[in-house]
Amino acid sequence: MRTIVAGNWKMHKDRIEAADLIAAVIAGADAWSPSVDVVVAPPFPFLAEAVERARGTRLVVAAQNCHEAAHGAYTGEVSVAMLSSIGVGACIVGHSERRQYFGETDAAVGRKIAALLSANIMPIYCCGEVLDEREQGRHFEVVARQMDEAFRELDVSAIARTVIAYEPVWAIGTGRTATPDQAQEIHAFIRGQLVGRIGDAGREVPLLYGGSCKPDNAGGLFGRSDINGGLIGGAALDATQFTALITIAGEVMN
Ligand code: 13P
């Protein structure tokens, strides 16, 4: 099983800050465990430069979104072919902020996953419930429905090549984290859904936890059997914290 530590920079940093952060992350690369894949997702304007800086290193550069169509009259959008042409290796899709503020649906996310895979870009598919749903005990049902809709049109090999990030919306940017037990419980559920859908291949799909994951809580989360790394927001904006998370992943997961 691969372990992945991925940083989602969201809408943060300017060009100089982005270059500095990439350089600082790469500076620690010699110490990365061989079993940990490291990914950063800067904003679109900085992707090409990030890819250049990451060339020859183990750092994979990801986008935070893409459009499903190959090209066309979609002002403001970015296609997978564009991402591929500059060497982007992964792409986050279905992040809760895109669902909440930009109306992204699971059906559209499913089409984005298919487009990404056709361009050999690794999709990082985000799912997770909001606070009300968690408090009503509906989190399993919500995540099952999200996966069902996103994966409906995808075949077994496409789902097997997709990384899943469980991000409880109530834990994103709030400082409130799912406990290791809560996270493991729903990750095990997601694993079960995957195995039900695609068989044993579902056991090899990396499941990342996201939501206020920091160096001081990552050890408990990453150590659990169905938590194969993290999708990190705030702590990915600081090279020291992000590097600490990579180190913890390497230590805990071996
Ligand atoms: P935080 O780590 O800032 O809570 O963000 C998580 C997230 O949304 C990563 O995609």
Averaged pLDDT for residues 117-140: 96
Integer CA distances (angstroms), 174 to 4, 98, 212, 252, in order: 22, 17, 7, 25
Nearest to 127 by CA among 173, 76, 175, 162: 162
Six-digit token string for 188: 């095990």
Integer CA distances (angstroms), 111 to 100, 118, 191, in order: 18, 11, 22
Q: Which of 67, 95, 139, 187 is catalytic?
A: 95
What's the chain's average pLDDT? 96
Q: Which of 68, 104, 129, 167 is catalytic?
A: 167
Residue nearest to atom 5 of ligand 1 (CA): 233
Measure 233 CA to ligand 1 centroid, in angstroms.
3
Amino acid at 27: A
pLDDT, residue 1, reads 85
Per-residue pLDDT reduced to its tens digit, 50-84: 999 999 999 999 999 999 999 999 999 999 999 99
Is 95 among the residues known to form the active site?
yes
Per-residue pLDDT reduced to its tens digit, 92-110: 999 999 999 999 999 999 9
Measure 206 CA to ligand 1 centroid, in angstroms.
17
pLDDT, residue 223, reads 85
pLDDT, residue 118, reads 97
Measure 72 CA to ligand 1 centroid, in angstroms.
31
Long-range Cβ contact pairs of 50-57 (< 8 A, separation 24 or more) = 50/18, 50/22, 51/86, 51/87, 51/88, 53/19, 53/22, 53/23, 53/26, 54/22, 54/26, 55/87, 57/26, 57/29
Domains and CATH numbers, the chain: 3-252 (3.20.20.70)
Per-residue pLDDT reduced to its tens digit, 146-201: 999 999 999 999 999 999 999 999 988 888 888 999 999 999 999 999 999 999 99
Distance CA 13, CA 105 (A): 27
Measure 211 CA to ligand 1 centroid, in angstroms.
5
Contact criterion met (CB below 8 Å) for 237 and 195: no
Phi, psi of 76 (to 5 degrees): 90, -5
Six-digit token string for 196: 């039900």
Q: Quick one: which H or E segment has residue 14?
A: none
* Other Cβ atoms closer than 10 A to 92: 25
* Mutation choice for ligand 1 from 4, 8, 131, 238, CB with most ligand atoms inside 8 A: 8
Residue nearest to atom 9 of ligand 1 (CA): 233
DSSP symbols for 143-189 = HHHHHHHHHTT--HHHHHT-EEEE--GGGTTSS----HHHHHHHHHH
Q: How confident is the model at residue 254 (pLDDT cuts 50, 70, 90)?
A: low
Q: Is 28 helix (H, G, I), strand (E, B) or coil?
A: coil
Distance CA 231, CA 180 (A): 15
* Mutation choice for ligand 1 from 213, 214, 216, 237, CB with most ligand atoms inside 8 A: 213
Binding-site residues, ligand 1, Cβ < 6 A? 8, 95, 167, 172-173, 210-213, 231-235
Is 187 among the residues known to form the active site?
no
* Mutation choice for ligand 1 from 93, 98, 130, 232, CB with most ligand atoms inside 8 A: 232
pLDDT, residue 185, reads 97
